[in-house]
Amino acid sequence: MTMFKSLALSSALGAAAGIALAAQVLAQGTSVSIESFKFAPATITTNANAPITFVNKDGAPHQVVVSGKPFKTAVLQKGQSGSITIADKGSYKYICGLHPSMTGTIEVK
């Protein structure tokens, strides 16, 4: 029961995020691959307001979650991508929401 509720909530949040993010896919930005349970490259530098697109090339689902900030992608299945855009300059740590040992850093200049 607990597991079911958790999955349902996660799907609802993912759908909402996906709608907001779809409009940003065509803008120029940075791309990060997710492969073999790693972000590649794990550390990226980008400009404020430039979208960062994450492409899941793994068979397993992944989700990018910026630590302590309201930035995240939907849960991405194989072949799916999702973007986040950060307006404020700074250094942001991110993890996979499903596999917290997967980590990376976004430097926004």
| CB-nearest residue to Cu ion | 96
Q: Which of 10, 57, 98, 105 binds Cu ion (CB under 5 A)?
A: 98
**Element housing 16 (H / E):** helix 2-22
Report, in Å, the least distance between residue 71 CB and Cu ion: 16
Yes or no: say if 37 and 58 are a contact pair by the CB < 8 Å rule: yes
Total Cβ atoms within 10 A of residue 37: 12
Among 17, 74, 95, 96, binds Cu ion (CB under 5 A): 96
**Range 37-66, binding Cu ion (CB under 5 A):** 62
- How do the residues of the chain divide into helix, strand and coil, expressed in percent and rounded to 5? 20, 40, 45
Find the part of the chain contacting Cu ion (CB under 5 A) among 18-26, 39-47, 48-56, 88-96.
Answer: 88-96
- Binding residues (CB under 5 A) for Cu ion: these are 62, 96, 98-99
